[in-house]
Amino acid sequence: MRASERAYQRLREEILDGELAPGAPLGEVEQAARLGVSRTPVREAFARLEADGLATAASARVLVVAELSPESIAALYELREALEERAARLAAERRDPAPFLAVRRRIVAATEQLDGGADGLTEYYAAIAELDEAVDRAAGNPLLTAALRGARLHSARVRRLARHHPARLRRAADEHLLIVDAIIDGDASLAAHATHVHLHLSLRHALASIGGRSVA
């Protein structure tokens, strides 16, 4: 694999996992040394991270890991609402239930294994990721999918911050199933509204979970 690709994925993972904390400075030489590549691929990785919004220019010449304040989390969910609602609506209008029937089974199965520790959690998130992908495919709008990709990246950061109780995950699964069923039924309006409700509750849980502390 290309060195720039490895550098990008590694840095992205570290930012999403919180190993690189919000506000942490990103120096080319430092990261190049740490990752074992030259500055050139690191520069490219930095550029992609900045385009993703995971890194921001603190001043003219210093790049830092993007902040993650309650305000920015609220803004993120506002954006996701606009995008996911539209995507869900388009998916429902498509009327191609087959992939969603498959996703539905996977979500149900994953929910039953939620007490199985870390593996259960991983499978749960994988199932949700498959739902996202199915929605993107059905929506059939590459630009929308690209915009959603960025928003979901940020959501992964939030997810790690907000420790998810099994109770919340179980309820979230129900919300997801309602969305899936609406899409299967071709009920675009319900798909959109159910998506809205899900995001609203997710945001409320996330903000409550981090308790207002700015994770800078």
Partner DNA sequence: ACCCGGATTCATGTATACATTCACGCGCAA
Partner DNA sequence: TTGCGCGTGAATGTATACATGAATCCGGGT
Instruction: Name which of 45 and 188 has its Cβ closer to DNA.
Output: 45
Q: Which does 37 bind (CB under 5 to 8 A by kind): DNA, a copy of itself, none?
A: DNA
Q: What string marks each residue from 127 to 156 as x (binds a copy of itself by CB under 8 A) or -?
A: -------------xxxxx-xx--xx--x--
Q: How many Cβ atoms from other residues are within 10 Å of residue 147's Cβ?
A: 17
Three-state helix/strand/coil letters over 159-173:
HHHCCCCHHHHHHHH
Interstrand relation of 55-57 and 25-26 (parallel, antiparallel or unpaired): unpaired
Distances (CA, A) of 187 to 82, 90, 97, 162, 204: 18, 10, 11, 31, 26
**Structural contact between residues 107 and 176, judged by C-beta atoms closer than 8 angstroms:** yes
**40 in contact with DNA (CB under 7 A):** yes
Owner of token pair 């945001």 = 203
Instruction: Name which of 30 and 71 has its Cβ closer to a copy of itself.
Output: 71
**67 in contact with DNA (CB under 7 A):** no
**Structural contact between residues 203 and 175, judged by C-beta atoms closer than 8 angstroms:** no
Buried b (16+ CB within 10 A) or exposed e, 31-40: bbeebebeee
Contacting residue, 38, 113, 141, 209, with DNA by CB under 7 A = 38
Q: Which does 189 bind (CB under 5 to 8 A by kind): a copy of itself, DNA, none?
A: none
Whole-angstrom Cα distance, residue 202 to residue 168? 9
Question: Interface residues for DNA in 141-180 (CB under 7 A)?
Answer: none
Cα Rg of the chain, angstroms: 18
Contacting residue, 18, 23, 24, 39, with DNA by CB under 7 A = 39
Instruction: Name which of 83 and 188 has its Cβ closer to a copy of itself.
Output: 83
| Nearest distance from C-beta of residue 40 to DNA, angstroms | 4
- The residue length of the chain stands at 216
**48 in contact with a copy of itself (CB under 8 A):** yes
**10 in contact with DNA (CB under 7 A):** no
* Binding residues for DNA (CB under 7 A): 2-5, 26-29, 37-41, 43-44, 59-63
* Binding residues for a copy of itself (CB under 8 A): 43-44, 47-48, 51, 53, 72, 75-76, 78-79, 81-83, 85-86, 90, 140-144, 146-147, 150-151, 154
